[in-house]
Amino acid sequence: MVWFGVLGFPVTAANSVGFALFALLLLEGAGYWFVKLRQIATRTRSLRGAGAFVVARRGNVAVLVAGLLFIGWAVVTDPGGREAGRVWGSGCSQCWNR
């Protein structure tokens, strides 16, 4: 969560969902390459956990569309994130008065 703590991005609903989508794709990619490197090292023909990646590939479309729709809605309904920041518990009431 370096984006929010160190860099000072506001903890809004749109930012949180966007970060979660980004992190999900990174974790899936890391998992794939971990399994792929293991397959190469052991010289096996089948990719262990291939079924999980098939499910993830199909599920990613729905998750990304839902996430993008939510982000769009959050940006339109609360562009500055003032209300969302309080809902998501940023705990920084003075942050919005700068």
The rounded distance, in Å, linking the Cα atoms of 98 and 89 is: 18
Specify the DSSP element, H or E, that contains 23: helix 13-42
26-53: per-residue pLDDT in tens?
A: 999 999 999 999 999 999 888 888 899 9
Q: Report the Cα 28 to chain-centroid distance in Å.
A: 11
Structure-token pair, residue 85:
């920041």
Domain boundaries, the chain: 14-89
Where residue 3 falls among pLDDT bands split at 50, 70, 90? Answer: low
Query: What is each CA distance from 8 to 60, 63, 90, in whole angstroms?
Result: 29, 27, 11
How many residues in the chain? Answer: 98
DSSP 8-state code for residue 6? T
Residue for token digits 């309904």?
A: 77
Q: 45 vs 8, which has greater pLDDT?
A: 45
